[in-house]
Structure 1
Amino acid sequence: MSMCGLGSFYADGDCGTKDADCSMEIMNYKSRPDKNRAHLYKNRLFEADMTWGIYREKRSVTNRETIMTVPALKKGRHARVFAEFDDNFRNGTVYTRKSEEHYFFYPFLEVLTIHLLAEGKGVLLHACCIDDNGEGYLFLGQSGAGKSTMANLWNEESGITVPSDDRVLVSMTEQGLTAYGTPWHGTEKYAINARVPVTKIFFI
């Protein structure tokens, strides 16, 4: 499956004997079990506006009780893509059409990452990350606050790298608080597989 946007974020070489954090299977949408899912709306756990939703399936055919759909099942909408996960989001199956594989990249892959980070590994922030010659600045703000604009302004300066203009992974390492670029970029599409120690945090 081709997932435009991941680019440099693919793992380099063999991961060795380290177990994978999660295992996902991509299946054709027509092969999904229990195709009547209209009842899921009553068991909703979370919905991101109309974009996507997470629901509880009490009688799943596959014994995976957490269901995620694109779009959210509001107002009688039918899912164009849906996935079944176990409760810890470590294993699952995504049912999609060839023309809609990009939905695995977002939101499915991002939601999986958030759940893995919640196990004490870090947090995903809605922020722009600036690498100023080895010093990391985070600019946190909601959509429309100016994160991508800030990225463009900083990118004009010498010695500046912009790992991300919208989603930044932050984790505590031996070097202290560290920010990582992610493939989920903003309007200006800054997305670099790079990390930098965090020295300043701004709210915009």
Structure 2
Amino acid sequence: MKVIQTKIGDHIIHIITEFEKPNKILHNFQTNTEAIQQPDLIIKIKNGYGIPFQDYEVTITKKQNKIIYTRADYLVEVDSEYKTATISVYNDFALKHALTNLYSSFIVHHNWGLLIHSSCVLENGKAHLFSGHSGAGKSTAAKLSFPRQLLSDEASLVKITPNQVTVFNSPFRSELEAEPFEGNVELASIQILFQAIQNKRVKLEKSDALLHLMDKVFFWPKSQEEVKTIMKLMTQLVKQVPVYELHFQKNNTFWELIS
């Protein structure tokens, strides 16, 4: 068994894993070298569960004091207070999705923030988020933004309070790695991406922005209370952060519209 103490956002996470060899997914979770602290969440990871990926459908059930998330290739069991969880997986792909969905549910449970399907880049000390439907160009925009600091290429970690919206470095990555980044930075803008032959940036009304972002949150919970929490967080988000449609060429000139 291997123990990893990591910090994601503001949260200390202890991961106890059966993966003894270096693991591509867990490699992204930076080791916290500070003195051992009381964890906010303890995750035990087991191998050898289920069958290869079938689809993204997740079944959620509640038994006594546990919440159980089941997909063909993974099983997540977490206590109702989101203090301890066990993840059983078929392979690395399943582990990546299980960890993403667990942490997304964890931060919603604590009314802390959202994991948003997007890439995120730093410019002059502020963060700019790029979202859109599958294939819209989130990873492309991230690649074209080099040498700007990359905070995420798939799942942006956004903390939302009534007075401030900030972004942390995200370990929930797809293909692009970046230098470690400590702390959090103000989220200055959100771009909904559309590939085009000409660059154009149009600010959205808050109601339209909310509609565009509704399906970009990782793992939409099924309970009414969790849905209310997500809607509250998203409403706070669009009130504080301007959201734009960004029609962009596949080169870095779109940054002229953002900077």
The answer to whether the superposition gives a TM-score over 0.5 is yes
- Measure how far apart 1:8 and its partner are: 5.3
Aligned partner letter, 2:59: I
SS in structure 2 of the partner of residue 69 of structure 1 = strand
What is residue 67 of structure 1 aligned with on the other side? 68
* Matching of residue 110 in structure 1 with residue 100 in structure 2: yes
CA distance in 1, matches of 2:113, 2:180: 16
Report Cα offsets for 1:65-121 as digits up to 9, x if no partner: 4322332xxxxxxxx432322234332323346xx25533x1121122112211121
SS in structure 2 of the partner of residue 89 of structure 1 = coil
**Aligned partner (choices 65, 83, 86) of residue 90 of structure 1:** 83
SS in structure 2 of the partner of residue 130 of structure 1 = strand
Q: What is the correspondence of 1:180-199 to structure 2 with a 5 Å cutoff?
A: 180-186=168-174, 188-190=175-177, 193-194=180-181, 195-199=184-188
| Percent of aligned pairs sharing the same letter | 25
SS in structure 2 of the partner of residue 50 of structure 1 = coil
Report Cα offsets for 1:33-65 as digits up to 9, x if no partner: xx9xxxxxxxxxxxxx8135133165xxxx564
Flag the 1:15–1:124 CA change in 2: closer, same or farther, 3 A: farther
What is residue 201 of structure 1 aligned with on the other side? 190
1:3·1:102 contact (CA, 8 Å) conserved in 2? no
Unpaired segments ≥5 residues, structure 2:
1-18, 194-259
Aligned partner letter, 2:85: G
* Matching of residue 144 in structure 1 with residue 135 in structure 2: yes
1:124·1:170 contact (CA, 8 Å) conserved in 2? yes
Flag the 1:65–1:102 CA change in 2: closer, same or farther, 3 A: same
- Measure how far apart 1:193 and its partner are: 4.1
2:129·2:187 contact (CA, 8 Å) conserved in 1? yes
Q: Number of matched residues?
A: 168
Question: RMSD of the alignment, in Å?
Answer: 3.2
Q: Normalising by structure 2, report the TM-score.
A: 0.54
SS in structure 1 of the partner of residue 97 of structure 2 = helix
Q: Normalising by structure 1, report the TM-score.
A: 0.66
What is residue 233 of structure 2 aligned with on the other side? none
